[in-house]
Structure 1
């Protein structure tokens, strides 16, 4: 099959134009997403640690991204920048598998029964639904553990409250109840639902605009093309959902084992942060989020598109007439 414009593989001319082309099965998209998640986690964990530290900083201890990273590396060792990698990598692997798989299932449900086409409204609804599912089943408990581990400071493990991800999860469940692992669920649902609605819609739009690729047309984008589309699609969400992310982090970081907590819920947290720290505090950590999420989406989509593209070319190419 000859290479097409922009490095993309052209669609087969053998497809029946009267029918919607076959779509990649949800389980293939789930595997593709999980592989992309592993690569993303290993590359971008330091940015996530810095983001968390900045969001939890109420005293101005860090003067910015570089100072925060340098301080952590100097006082706690370079490995501190990869704190929480195990739950982060596991969480991303499971999250992307669930996100890509559930989005594929929901997109199929929202397609027009007669034509097989998916409207923009259906694409947004499928993305939002996938974000809600991943937030409740995967993201919230894993991020609670990750954030508790990341906020710990010090070099001596014996002085740290949490010794590792499994120990952390057990401690939270014992001291705060099993629901302690779902602290901050409401802002997480809002953040992830909005993010995924925007991301899936924008990724498809950029694929069409930049590379003339329609979903199911048989083209396989080059990795660099997927990275550009994924990067651009990943920029809008962090700006729109900054307050939800800050509130989520604050709610997840506070332990209920000591009695009274500072933030009583999502709305109370937003009001309290605004009153005590100003409007800008609701977007704390935005720059490291923009340094992490768009590159992360670029990496994930570069891997995922190649996996799904390989499957489509191998198994979904129609027999020649």
Structure 2
């Protein structure tokens, strides 16, 4: 029999793979717009056009190998932690109140815990992915070469550059993410008088899409700060930014509040598709693994 934890890990892995395959082209456009010098692109379509013209259509999947391995691991950790917290909260609620219903605070807490735990994997994975996405002169032969060189030349501190904003984004973002999804799913189950195993795919898609949009609306400025740190020079003597607060100061000085929302359009376009795919894949895998 498959244990609950293993089932959650495997189901999360399916969700993570679906998320990468659907969302990677949108993500590379987001990162390019976030980190390029002001005026490089006139918008999303201009960025897409320039990538196709100068680098070819396969450029939209630059650095995909690392996310396929890393995001699969990240999402599996997220779902494993959030489902474990939900189980513990249900047991506590049943013992104290005689009901397994989870409060909004408990759902947010479960998501936040999942996000913070996930940050340990997400930070280096996203750092390597961003380095691969933004390189234009073939500096790295691949994600393994990129990781190896950063680790060798700059140690763990270099690999984990941008960890603090990543942890902040993941903690708050995943709290909002899972709260939104579970709230919508629970309302649907109660309204239709069905079990989780009977959850319609369309309901999972809509709830996942909404959760993805809510996530990014809550944490996007933090993600911009993270991206700036992770695309800055690894050589301390050549860095443009000296830390998260310095990124905030410089971005605001150059472009005001708008500077923290550069690249939001492709992110909001990507969010519903990638996260709908994530939850549909997770629910499908979880439902089928429950048979064993």
TM-score (norm 1): 0.83
The 5-angstrom pairing of residues 78-227 of structure 1 reads: 78-111=57-90, 112=92, 114=95, 115=98, 116-136=100-120, 138-153=121-136, 159-212=137-190, 217-227=195-205
Greater Cα shift, 233-242 or 124-133: 233-242
User: 1:13 — aligned with what?
Assistant: none
**Cα offset, 1:240, TM superposition:** 1.4
User: 2:274 — aligned with what?
Assistant: 296
Q: 2:47 aligns with which of 46, 60, 68?
A: 68
CA distance in 2: counterparts of 1:214 and 1:181, whole angstroms: 48
Is the 8 Å Cα contact of residues 173 and 216 (structure 2) preserved in structure 1? yes
**Cα offset, 1:39, TM superposition:** 2.1
Structure 1 residues 38-68: Cα deviation after superposition (integer angstroms, max 9, x where no partner): 1221222111110110001123111111111
CA distance in 2: counterparts of 1:94 and 1:238, whole angstroms: 21
Is the 8 Å Cα contact of residues 140 and 184 (structure 1) preserved in structure 2? yes
Task: Structure 2: give runs of 5+ residues left out of the alignment.
Answer: none
CA distance in 2: counterparts of 1:34 and 1:168, whole angstroms: 24
Greater Cα shift, 250-259 or 50-59: 250-259
TM-score (norm 2): 0.91
> In 2 relative to 1, CA 275–60 (structure 1 residues): closer, same or farther, beyond 3 Å?
same
CA distance in 2: counterparts of 1:265 and 1:171, whole angstroms: 22
CA distance in 1: counterparts of 2:22 and 2:107, whole angstroms: 29
The 5-angstrom pairing of residues 239-318 of structure 1 reads: 239-257=217-235, 259-312=237-290, 314=291
> In 2 relative to 1, CA 198–216 (structure 1 residues): closer, same or farther, beyond 3 Å?
farther
**Cα offset, 1:103, TM superposition:** 1.1
CA distance in 2: counterparts of 1:296 and 1:93, whole angstroms: 13
> In 2 relative to 1, CA 129–214 (structure 1 residues): closer, same or farther, beyond 3 Å?
farther
User: 1:235 — aligned with what?
Assistant: 213
Is the 8 Å Cα contact of residues 30 and 266 (structure 2) preserved in structure 1? yes
> In 2 relative to 1, CA 214–148 (structure 1 residues): closer, same or farther, beyond 3 Å?
farther
Q: CA RMSD in A?
A: 2.0
Q: Secondary structure at the match of 1:59?
A: coil
CA distance in 2: counterparts of 1:59 and 1:117, whole angstroms: 49
CA distance in 2: counterparts of 1:62 and 1:166, whole angstroms: 30
CA distance in 1: counterparts of 2:196 and 2:46, whole angstroms: 47
- Higher-helix-fraction structure: 2
**Cα offset, 1:196, TM superposition:** 0.9
Is the 8 Å Cα contact of residues 176 and 255 (structure 1) preserved in structure 2? no
Structure 1 residues 93-132: Cα deviation after superposition (integer angstroms, max 9, x where no partner): 1111110001112223333250344322121111101001
Q: Secondary structure at the match of 1:245?
A: helix
Is the 8 Å Cα contact of residues 67 and 129 (structure 2) preserved in structure 1? yes
CA distance in 2: counterparts of 1:273 and 1:34, whole angstroms: 36
Report the count of equivalent residues. Answer: 285
Greater Cα shift, 86-95 or 256-265: 256-265
> In 2 relative to 1, CA 275–215 (structure 1 residues): closer, same or farther, beyond 3 Å?
farther
> In 2 relative to 1, CA 204–216 (structure 1 residues): closer, same or farther, beyond 3 Å?
farther
CA distance in 2: counterparts of 1:151 and 1:213, whole angstroms: 47
The structure 1 segments of at least 4 consecutive aligned residues displaced by more than 4 Å after TM superposition are 213-216
CA distance in 2: counterparts of 1:200 and 1:27, whole angstroms: 20
Choose 1 or 2 for highest CA Rg: 1
